[in-house]
Amino acid sequence: MKITVSSYLSRRGAFLDTELKFGFREENWLKECYQQLEMDYPKFYKMDHLSKMAVLSTEIIKSGGILNGIQDDELELLFANANASQHTDLKFIESYEQQGNPSPSLFVYTLPNILTGELAIRNKWYGENTFFITPEFDETLFAERLYHSARKGSKLCLCGWVDSKLNAQSAVELEECFLFLVALSKEDTRNDSSSFAITLKELYTSYQASTLDN
Amino acid sequence: MSELKENLKAQIIEQLSLEDLTPADIKDDAPLFGDEGLGLDSIDALEFIVLLESNYGIKIADPSQGREIFHSVNSLAAFIESNQ
């Protein structure tokens, strides 16, 4: 069980394998990131905050070519966050309380696991996908789930912690996207998963520290 | 007509929560649906129906007309003008 590539995306910048790839100057940093990556995917503009971050981070992960040529059902998706779809939930509530109409296009994003669907559509990945909601980043949960995936023969899993939260004034209080691609083997053991959890926690912590430095 | 089109673009952005876009990003004749243009889908067609009713008091009597009416800002504006 080994992390082959990782990325971290927040308002402070886009990181690939712990190196800063580029920073952001615009208030609308997600649009700036989209433009930096020279993407041409109009559906991006429709997406919720979580999906935008996940799609952009995946493009950064893909930029090194590591996912080129994989079979469409070869890659699992394993994602989690703490605040589910609270960001979109509040905007949806606002759409019918203040504008009088519940917005169908917001409603479709009032589940956080929609982001795995957006990744599947964008990349034509049709492997299994799972989304957990946990109080905080849970490295042991990721490690345990990856161990089980390895035991049933999965070879590659794109994992992510993609979280966003609005405060009482509807301003963004928290937003981050940590992605890591894991190569799995049937030979992986429970001991491997325990040491993997420690490595994963260290990597996540280092990304958070480096974003604070910039 | 050009004022109507500009209003429509602003309303589309607001109704569909396309916060990253400005009216200038939407071309008059670009397809609104599908992979080109704005990449909108059937859920967004519901938003257009709501937009036409709430902002212009127009109901679409024949849903099969939707594809033609919602093709672009140009076609939307022409439909509104001919039904007001």
Give B41-73 pLDDT, tens digit per residue.
Answer: 888 888 898 899 989 999 988 878 888 999 999
- pLDDT score recorded for residue A64: 86
Tell me whether residues B39 and A104 touch, CB distance under 8 A.
Answer: no
Q: What is the pLDDT of residue A212?
A: 61
pLDDT score at A213: 59
Distances (CA, A) of A196 to A78, A81, A199: 15, 19, 5
Question: Per-residue pLDDT averaged across A59-87, rounded?
Answer: 94
Distance CA A180, CA A183 (A): 10
| A91 touching chain B per CB within 8 A | yes
pLDDT digits (tens, 9 = 90+) for A143-198: 999 999 999 999 999 999 999 999 988 899 999 999 999 999 988 888 788 899 99
Percentage of residues in chain A with pLDDT exceeding 90?
A: 81
Size of interface A-B (CB pairs under 8 A): 47
| pLDDT at position B37 | 78
Q: Is A103 on the interface with B (CB under 8 A)?
A: yes
> What band does A10 get if pLDDT is binned at 50, 70 and 90?
very high
Question: Of A43, A44, A104, which is closest to B47 when you measure between CB atoms?
Answer: A104
pTM of the model as a whole: 0.91
* Spatial separation of the C-alpha atoms in residues B49 and B58, rounded to whole Å: 9
The beta-carbon neighbor of A105 closest among B20, B21, B43 is B43
- So what's the pLDDT on residue B64? 83
For residue B9, the distance in angstroms to the closest alpha carbon of chain A comes to 14
In the predicted structure, residue B28 carries a pLDDT above the cut 90: yes
- A67 touches B at CB < 8 Å: no
Dihedral (CA of B27, B32, B34, B40) sign: positive
Residues A13-49 have pLDDT tens digits of 999 999 999 999 999 999 999 999 999 998 999 999 9
ipTM of the complex: 0.78
Least Cα separation, residue A105 to chain B (angstroms): 6
Mark yes or no for CB contact A41/B39 under 8 Å: yes
Set of chain A residues whose Cβ sits within 8 Å of the Cβ of B44: 46, 104-105
Measured in residues, chain B has a length of 84
Structure tokens at A56: 């952009």
